[in-house]
Structure formats: C-alpha cells, structure tokens
Amino acid sequence: MREGWLLTLGGGSGQRRCRRGLLQPAARRALAWGLALELVRIGLLAQETPPADSVQRLQEELRQLRQQFEQVQREQGEQIRALERQIESLRAAPPVESGAPSEPGAPPSPPRAATPPSAEPATAAPAPADSNLGVSPVPPAASWSPTQPIPVIQSGQAYMNLSFKMLGTVGASTASDASEELELGHHDPAGRGFTLQHGELALDGAVDPYLRGFANIGMSIDPEGETHVGLGEAYLLTTSLPANLQLKAGQFLAEFGRQNTQHAYQWDFVDQPLVLNRLLGPHSLRNPGARLSWLAPTPFYTETMLGVFNGEGHSAFSYRAPGDEATHGRTPLDRGLRGPGDLLFVPRVATSFDLTDTQTLVTGVSAAFGPNNSGEHARSEIYGLDWYWKWKPAHAEHGFPFLAWQTEGLYRRYEAGADPVRGLPAEDLEDWGLYSQVLWGFTRRWVAGLRGEWVDGNAGAHDALDRFRGERVRISPNLTFYPTGFSKVRLQYNLDDGDRFGTEHSVWLQGEFLLGTHGAHKF
Amino acid sequence: MNPSKRSFLRRAGHGMALLAAAAAFASPLVNAAKLKVVTTTADFAAIARDIGGDRIEVASLAKPTEDSHFVDAKPSLILKLNRADVLIEGGAELEIGWLPALMDSTRNPRIHRGSPGNVLANEGIAMLDVPAVLDRSMGGVHAMGNPHIMTDPVNARILAEHLARVFSQLDAQSSEFYRANFQRFSDELDAKLAEWQQRLAPFKGRRIVAYHDSWPYFARRFGLRIDLFLEPKPGIPPTPPHLAQVIQTMQQEKINLIFVEPHLNWRTAETVARQTGATAVLVSQFPGGVKGTEGGYIPLIEHLVDTVAKNLKAP
C-alpha cells in the first residue's frame, strides 16, 4: 500500500513534473519522507522477534523497496544529467531575441510593437520538454499581461513566516554563582557552565488586509532541568488606519527606550544592561495592553506613542509585580485594578535625522507611570532618554564596516509603602543609571563591542538585602563573529564592581542559530 | 448676543477665512502634485524615470553603491514610504532583510501588497536559478530565484510596460504621456539591444568570473557564461581554498575577466586578477553605482556591454 503511494510520487507525478524545473520540492520532500518513514517502519518491525516467514516477507519487501529506490534514483540521475546537458547547450547557444539579429552581422529586425515583448512567462501551459527550463523564451500569449501572477513562485505561499531561534552561553566567573548578584536578567547567563538562555518560536504574517499578527513563544530550561514555555509576545498591528495612526494590541514589549523592545537574540551583548534590568525588570517591560502611535507630518521622522498596559506581573517589575524583590522588601500587596488610573501608561516620542548620507541619529524620550505593589497608594515613575547613532559608508559590503553608538539613561522614583511588620518605612526610592555602548563592525562578519555601565540610587531602608539597589559599575568588551545572518558566536568579558560584592570577572561565550524565515532588521 | 461670544465667533470666522485662503493657495499645489514613486533599488528608479519623466518624483531607498541585500531600515525611509503613491520592489526577496521592517511602520495602504500602488518588479519575468530545494547550507539562495533581474534589458522592458500601466491607472490624466514614454523607451531599447547583441556576438559562450552571482540574466541574454564566482556559495566570503580552485580554472580555461560590484571586496578580486593575468572590472547593476552609469538604465547596460567588449580579449 505504502509502496504504491511511494511509487506514484517518485515515478509518476515526479517524473511528469521534472520536465519543468527538476522535481517539484513538494514531491521531493514527500519522496524523502516516504522513504524515511518506510525505513523507520521496517526498522521498528525488525526489532520485534517475528516468526521466520515474516522475516522472509520483510526481507522481500526490503529488497523490492531497495530496487524501487535505486530505480527512482537512476531515473532521476538520468533526468538531472539530461537537464544539465540542456543547460550546457542553452548556455553555449543562448536564446536570441526574435527582435534581434540571430547571427552576428545580420541586419537588426525592426523594433516590435508595444505588446509586452518576450515576456517569457513560465505559463502554466505545458511546454515542450526539450526546451523549457523556465528560462527559454516562450512566445507571449496575446492576452498575457504583467499583472498576471506567474506560477514559478515557490515561497511566499505560506500564510505566515515561521522561525526558531536558540541562544546559549558557556562561561566562567570568579563569582561562585553569577546568577546571585551579577547576572540578574531572565535571559542572562545563569552562572558557570552552560546556559540555554532563550529559545524562541516566532510566527508572523498578514491577518487580513488591515492587520498583521505576531507571536513569539519563548522557551527556557531552568537549573533543575525543567523546561518553561511562555507566550513572550502575541499582538496585532494595524496597517491601514487613517491619519498616520497605528494601533498595536495584545501582549508585547513596551516601547520604552531602545533595547526594551529587542529580544535577547537581538542584543549586542550577552547580558541585559544593568539599568534596564533594575528599572524595567529582569523580564523586560512587557504586558498585555495596547499602544497607539502617530507618525507626525514633519519633514523628519517623528513618532509619538502612548502605550497602556495592565502593569501587572513579573514582566512589570517596577509596577504591580509579585515577590518582595520588586517591592524592595515590602510584603507585596495584591493590588487589583481599581480604575483607569491604576493602568500603566508608557508615552514615548522618537525622532530621527539623517545627519549625512552615511550617518543617522535616532533619539527618543520615554516615560512609564503606574501603581506599584509596595503600598495601597504607592506609585512608580520612570523616565528615559536614549539615542542611537550609526555610520555606514556608501560602499558597505554586507553591511560592513559600520560604527554604532547607543546610550540609554533612566531615572526611577519608586514610592515604597510602609511595612510595619518588616520594619520598613514609607520612603521614596530613587534609582538612576545609564549604559553606553559602541559597536564597530570593522570587517565583514566581525563586530567588536565595548559597553560601559553605571547604576546607583539614594539610600533605602532595605538596601543591605536588596540586590537590585546600590552602586554598580560594569565594563564589557566583546567580539562577535557572524558566519552568516543566521548564526553568531560571541565572546564577552565582564569586569563587575559593586557595593555588595566587590570586584568580579566573568567570561562568556555565546552562540546563536536561527532556523526558518529571517525577520527583517529594525534600525 | 453677548459680546464675548460674538468676538469668539468673529475670531473663529477669521480663522475659517484664513484656512480657506490657505486651502485655496495650496490646492493648485495639490492638483499639480506629482506621483510620488519610491523604489527599493536604483535600477527600478531609473526605469521609473524613463516612463514617468517629470510627472513623477522618484526616490530609491537603497543607494546605487550599496549592497542591496543589506540596507539599513532607517526611519527616514519609513517617512518616504509613508508618503509614497507607488512602491516598486523586486518581489523576489532581494529586500527581505530590511523592507518588511519598514513596511510594518509605513501605515500607507496605497503601497501595500495587492494595492494598485504596489509594483512587484519581477511580475511577468521568468526567474532563473529557482532552487528546487530550500537549504541554507547552500548559502544565501533566494527561494524565488536569483533576484538580480534587471541586468537583462528584456526584463527591463517588461517592468517599463508594467510601470506605464500602473502610472496611467493612478494618474489617468497623463496616461498618454506614460504610454508614449514607454513606446520611446521600448524602441530605444530594441535598437540598443540589437546593437549590444551584435557587439557581444564575437564573445558568445565566453566565460567570465564574478564575485557574486548577480549576472545570470545578463549572461543569458548576451550568450556569456558567468557561472564561476569568487564566493564559494552565495553570500559566503571567499576562502583561500576556493580561490585557489577558481584561479586554477581561470588559468586552465584562460578566463580573463572578473566582475566586481562597488560594495564587494576589490582587493580580493585584484589578487585573483594578478595571479591569473585577468582584468578585474568594477561594474554595477544599478545606475550610478559606478562612474559613467549615472545617466539611467540604458547608459548602465551600455557601460556593461562596453566593459565586456573592451576587456574580453581573444583567448
């Protein structure tokens, strides 16, 4: 039964189709899968201990299958060789336009009329087997027009793009457990040895003529070996609202500053910048909500955005987040949403200028206002300033060389409520910090980076036990090699200095791969 | 009527009058507004100029010297797309690394896929080198075939005809103008094509080395073989063992011409040229990419044909 199916695919439709364009990929895939499945099935059957006659039967089946496989292989080999010969002959004596001289020195024939000449559409009509590779000129059908779709298209036929990315590190640190004090981000290296930082399944596509949809399913493995799967982002984006408006809705990374919207595999360094880790949180600022954006009719790019979120959960660290780490020692309240004033509001204005033909600057101001879980009426506010400057010469090869400078500075005022049980007073905790990084793509495939960071804050009652406060400085040089756009290897050294732990040194080696559709690069 | 209200009304009236005056002043500008055409690469822009003349405004997102696979999705490009009436894109994934990021932010339904203002330049063009199997271990292959389609003048004419149709649809008043421009372009191309083919006829079947596989359409049209590349696989930089092999083949077959595009590594090509006695030449698929091609599409191909004819010596 299955062999019959196999034969039909391999010898039947495959043979018919390969007159045009070798063998259709679907047929080839089906053939490969069919063979693989059959071999696996036979393998599985062979593992049991069947009676002797069934062994014989299976051997016979295997022999037949082998014969069929070899026959198909032989046939296809012949077809490939025939096609190669055709290509050779076509290359040696290329098709000559009917409107052009066929021999050197022959008088040019008169120009042809306005009908689309030599359109060469690979029409669906079967073409003579000896001439059509989808390359030789086919006389244009009179009714043909360029707006007709052509059937040679092979991709773009799925309704969505699909990709899987995996990011991991191996490293060592003078700190016995880097995840205790040094690397507090959710996707940061977890300490000595190997860390699978992040796996991500990403889907995107047009929902209908008005909406695009995006989803990222994040995966990680914790030190106990448990795999955690989470919906990182899932949102829709409008494409056709009037007045230059755009709406984004769902669960997504808030547009605060520059790096918060990036996923771990897009970061230029192995770990999350300290100031983002402390103020926007180890999981980045990401929540269910909606964002309205307006592209201003100015001569230069100006985008004004307002995001509105629930502001609740692990990924709303400075707001209504669970756990007493987020509340700086206070027993976290479970504040519900009492009204619109309890939502998290994230406004942002970004603008960009092309300083010269080869230099671009993007700069923005962001803020985030919302209640926090440390007191009944406690609120947090964060303000941020960011800029990104990039130089890339007009003759760049594969995007190299380039020089990019990125800086973000943030300030937060956290109204911490009183917790008499734990002996903590009501106080205003102020935290601030910045990171600044330079990326130099000095030659094709290679990028050298240097990042400097500093975070600090005012004194608080819980500081002695609070790893998310106190002064810290970190210097991180790194070097990244991109074999292609689909993989990278990165070596990074961190010199860490903090009030709570003194000086520590860490070295991380990071690797990434991407399968499937490569999303376009945002600037 | 109380005075304060009246003064408010009067002020509002003044405002309205001002607005009306502004509108009256602006309206001729609006009527005379040219069709705003944005193209991903400079070859499409040049052909659009040939058809649209001074009745359209054309801007190319990628610079002609730039690697068209790797263009930065700068916010200024979002602005250009936001205000465009027509977008001409390759349609064969050449711009896949940057255009989708821009399109997500353009908020301009006029140029979305499926709208009259969205032109896929490869429509009606038979793509070459469409991979039978998608496998990235073969390098940066494009699922829809080699996207460097405009190096064949016949493909350029297909696009030109397509553009004349689209421009006429969006700006019906000028449709005669666009039609006439297409006719002129097509006639000139026909005459030139005959001349070019005649010029390259003595070199039929000759082999040329290219840094990157950008030239299959050009090669096919003019009976050349451009199928040996300095890159071991598309998008993978040259490696010493591969170059050694290329050099050996070049010496055996007496291949004496190497095509290099402005964004690729000239030094590598020069080294190979030195070791084989071949000539490395700077050529571009994009008008303005190399000196002498700024004039537009026909001067670009003219330059290309000229370069080949001058440099392909007798074996």
Q: Are residues A284 and A385 in the same domain?
A: yes
Q: Is B207 exposed, middle or buried (0-12, 13-18, 19+ CB in 10 A)?
A: buried
Asked if residue B143 has pLDDT above 90, the reply is no
Which token pair is A439? 């990326």
Residue A56 and residue A174 share a domain: no
Higher per-residue pLDDT: B132 or B60: B60
A391 and B CB contact within 8 Å: no
| Interface check A362 vs B, CB under 8 A | yes
Q: How far is B134 from chain A (nearest CA, A)?
A: 8
Chain B within 8 Å of A240 (Cβ-Cβ)?
Answer: yes
Weakest-pLDDT range from A213-227, A450-464, B161-175: A213-227
CB atoms within 10 A of CB A59: 12
Chain A interface, best mutation among B166, B198, B208, B231, by max A CB count within 10 A: B198
Q: Where are the beta strands (DSSP E) in chain B?
A: 35-39, 56-60, 86-89, 118-120, 207-210, 225-229, 257-260, 279-282
Q: How far apart are CA A63 and CA A17, in angstroms?
A: 27
Cβ contacts of B112 within 8 Å, gap of 6 or more: A209, A239, A240, B103, B118
User: What proportion of chain A, given as a percentage, has pLDDT over 90?
Assistant: 64
- The pLDDT value given to residue A34: 54
Report, at the CATH architecture level, how domain B35-194 is classified: 3-Layer(aba) Sandwich (3.40)
Q: Could you report the per-residue pLDDT of B97-111, keeping only the tens digit for each?
A: 999 999 999 999 999
> How far is B121 from A337, CA to CA, in rounded Å?
52
User: What's the rounded mean pLDDT across residues B287-311?
Assistant: 95
Ordered DSSP codes for B231-256: SSSTTSPP-HHHHHHHHHHHHHHT--
CB atoms within 10 A of CB A393: 15
Contact A517, A485 (CB under 8 A): no
Q: How confident is the model at residue A26 (pLDDT cuts 50, 70, 90)?
A: low
Query: Among A24-28, A52-56, A212-216, B299-303, which stretch is predicted with the lowest mean pLDDT?
Result: A24-28
Look at the alpha carbons of B212, B218, B219, B224 in this order and tell me if their dihedral is positive or negative. negative
For residue A521, what pLDDT band results from cuts at 50, 70 and 90? confident
pLDDT of residue A27: 52
State which of A89, A123, A144 marks the end of a domain.
A89
Q: Please state which of the ranges A490-499, B19-28, B187-196 shows the lowest mean pLDDT.
A: B19-28
Q: What is the mean pLDDT of residues B197-217?
A: 96
With DSSP H G I counted as helix, E B as strand and the rest as coil, what are the percentages for chain B, rounded to 5? 50, 10, 35
Q: What is the DSSP string of A135-165?
A: -S--PPPTT--TTS--TT--SS-SSSEEEEE
Domain ranges of chain B: 35-194, 201-311
Residue A48 located in a structural domain: yes
A352 closest CB neighbour out of B76, B162, B165: B76
Say whether pLDDT at B37 is over 80.
yes
Structure tokens at A123: 């029409």
What is the rounded average pLDDT of the residues A130-156?
39
Compare all CA atoms of chain B with the CA of A144 and give the residue at the minimum distance: B124
Residues 87-106 on A with a CB inside 8 Å of B are: 91-97, 99-101, 103-105
For residues A126 and A141, what is the distance between their CA atoms, to the nearest angstrom? 13
Subunit contact B182:A114, Cβ cutoff 8 A: yes
Same domain, A365 and A252: yes
3-state secondary structure of B36: strand
d(CA B16, CA B10): 10
Domains B35-194 and B201-311 share a fold: yes
Of B98, B107, B190, the CB nearest to A99: B190
pLDDT of residue B18: 53
A452: number of Cβ within 10 Å: 15
For residue A251, pLDDT beyond 50: yes
Q: Are strands A487-498 and A502-516 parallel, antiparallel or unpaired?
A: antiparallel
Of residues A91, A135, A241, nearest to B126 (C-beta): A135
Within 8 A of B220 by CB-CB distance, chain A residues are: 91, 94-95, 135
> Could you tell me which chain B residue has the CA closest to the CA of A359?
B74
Between B27 and A353, the more confident residue is A353
pLDDT of residue A163 exceeding 80, the answer is: yes
How large is the greatest C-alpha to C-alpha distance in chain A, in angstroms?
A: 101
CA distance A342 to chain B (A): 30
Closest CB to B107 among A28, A295, A523? A295
pLDDT at position A282 is 96
CB contact under 8 A, B109 and A520: no
Instruction: Specify the pLDDT at position A487.
Output: 95
Q: Which two tokens stand for residue A265?
A: 């595999």
The model's pLDDT over A55-89, given as tens digits with 9 standing for 90+, comes to 777 777 777 777 777 777 777 776 776 676 666 65
Q: In this predicted model, what pLDDT tens digit does every residue of A180-204 receive, in sequence order?
A: 999 999 999 999 999 999 999 999 9
Q: Are A39 and A187 within one domain?
A: no
Q: Comparing C-alpha atoms, which of A507, A508, A412, A415 is closest to residue A456?
A: A412
Percent pLDDT > 90 in chain B is 81
By the CB < 8 Å criterion, does A401 face chain B?
no
Query: In the prediction, which pLDDT does A462 show?
Result: 95
Q: Token digits for A111? A: 């120009």
Residues A76 and A212 in one domain: no
Q: Say yes or no: A339 contacts chain B, CB-CB below 8 A.
A: no
Cβ separation B126–A445 shorter than 8 A = no
Last residue of a domain, one of A69, A89, A109: A89
Q: How far apart are CA B85 and CA B153, in angstroms?
A: 26
SS (H, E, C) A50-107: CCHHHHHHHHHHHHHHHHHHHHHHHHHHHHHHHHHHHHHHHHHCCCCCCCCCCCCCCC
Distance from CA of A114 to the nearest CA of B (A): 7
Residue type for A9, please?
L
**Percent above pLDDT 70 for chain B:** 89
Give the pLDDT band (50/70/90) at residue B284.
very high
Q: Which of residues 57-116 of B touch A (CB under 8 A)?
A: 63, 65-67, 69-70, 72-76, 78-79, 82, 93, 96-102, 104-105, 107, 109, 112-114
Cβ <8 Å between B75 and A28 = no
Say how far apart CA A277 and CA A264 lie, in whole Å: 13
Least confident of A153-162, A429-438, B24-33: B24-33
CB contact under 8 A, B74 and A352: yes
Do both A214 and A335 map to the same domain?
yes
Give the residue among A191, A184, A136, A274 at the shortest CA–CA distance from B220. Answer: A136
Label residue A24 by pLDDT band (50, 70, 90). Answer: low
Q: Tell me if chain B has a CB within 8 Å of the CB of A398.
A: yes
Rg of chain B, C-alpha, whole Å: 24
From the list B70, B131, B191, which residue is nearest A398 (CB)?
B70
- What's residue B84's pLDDT? 97
B 227-256 → A contacts, CB under 8 A:
227, 235-237
Q: Answer whether A362's CB lies under 8 Å from A334's CB.
A: no
Residue A99 — pLDDT band, cuts 50, 70, 90?
very low
Instruction: List CB contacts of A64: < 8 A, sequence separation 6 or more.
Output: A3
Size of interface A-B (CB pairs under 8 A): 232
| pLDDT of amino acid A85 | 63
CATH superfamily of the B201-311 domain = Nitrogenase molybdenum iron protein domain (3.40.50.1980)
Question: Within this chain, do residues A511 and A410 fall inside the same structural domain, yes or no?
Answer: yes
| Residues near A306 by beta carbon (within 8 Å), at least 6 away in sequence | A291, A292, A293, A345, A346, A347, A348
Categorize the per-residue pLDDT at A96 as very low, low, confident or very high, splitting at 50, 70 and 90: very low
Domain region containing A436:
161-516
State the CATH number of the domain containing residue A502.
Answer: 2.40.160.10
Q: What is the chain A residue with the closest CA to B195?
A: A108
- Whole-number pLDDT of residue B29: 43
Contact residues, chain A, for B190 at CB < 8 Å? 99-100, 111-112
Predicted confidence (pLDDT) at residue A266 exceeds the cutoff of 50: yes
Return residues 133-192 of B near A (CB < 8 Å).
133-134, 136, 139-140, 143-145, 154, 157-159, 161-162, 165, 179, 182-183, 186-187, 190-191
Comparing CB atoms, the residue among A91, A114, A357 nearest residue B186 is A114
Torsion sign over Cα A148, A152, A157, A162: negative
pLDDT at B138 over 60: yes
Residue in chain B closest to A109 (alpha carbons) equals B194
User: Does B144 contact A154 at a Cβ distance shorter than 8 Å?
Assistant: yes
Q: Do B98 and A521 touch (CB under 8 A)?
A: yes
Whether residue A344 is predicted with pLDDT greater than 80 in this model: the reply is yes
SS3 category, A522: coil
Which pLDDT tens digit goes with each residue over A281-294? Answer: 999 999 999 999 99
Mean pLDDT of chain B: 90
Model pLDDT, residue A403:
98
Say if the Cβ atoms of B76 and A300 lie within 8 Å: yes
Say whether residue B18 is in contact with chain A using an 8 A CB cutoff.
no
Residue A95 has pLDDT above 90, yes or no: no
pLDDT for residue A221: 86
Alpha-carbon gap, residue A214 to A285, rounded angstroms: 18
Q: Looking at A11-15, A141-145, B91-95, which range is the least confident one?
A: A11-15
DSSP symbol at A400: B
Q: Would you state the pLDDT for residue A120? A: 40
The answer as to whether A210 is a domain residue is yes
8 Å CB contact of B104 and A108: no
d(CA A26, CA A13): 11
Inter-chain CB proximity A520 and B102 less than 8 Å: yes
The ipTM (two decimal places) reads 0.86
Contact A520 B100 (CB under 8 A): yes
pLDDT over 80 at A29, yes or no:
no
At which of A57, A89, A121 does a domain end?
Answer: A89
3-state SS assignment for residue A203: strand
For A169, phi then psi, to 5°, come to -135, 160
Q: How is residue A336 written in tokens?
A: 């519900």
Note if the pTM is more than 0.90. Answer: no
Q: Which chain A residues in 407-466 lie under 8 Å from chain B, judged by CB atoms? A: 444-445
- Per the structure, the count of domains in chain A is 2
Alpha-carbon span A206 to A214, nearest angstrom = 9
Give the mean model confidence (pLDDT) for residues B136-142. 81
The residue that leads in pLDDT, A68 or B223, is B223
Confidence label for A385 from pLDDT (cuts 50, 70 and 90): very high
Q: Is the pLDDT score of B116 beyond 80? A: yes
Q: What is the mean pLDDT of residues B230-255?
A: 95
Please say if the pLDDT value at position A127 is more than 50.
Answer: no
**From the candidates B71, B76, B187, which should be mutated to test the interface with A, based on the most A CB atoms within 10 A?**
B76
The pLDDT assigned to B139 comes to 80
From the CA of A70, how many Å to the nearest CA of chain B?
21
pLDDT at B219 over 90: yes
pLDDT at site A518? 82
pLDDT for position B10: 56
Chain A contact for B201, CB < 8 A? yes
Q: What is the pLDDT of residue B270?
A: 96
Q: Are residues A312 and A172 in the same domain?
A: yes
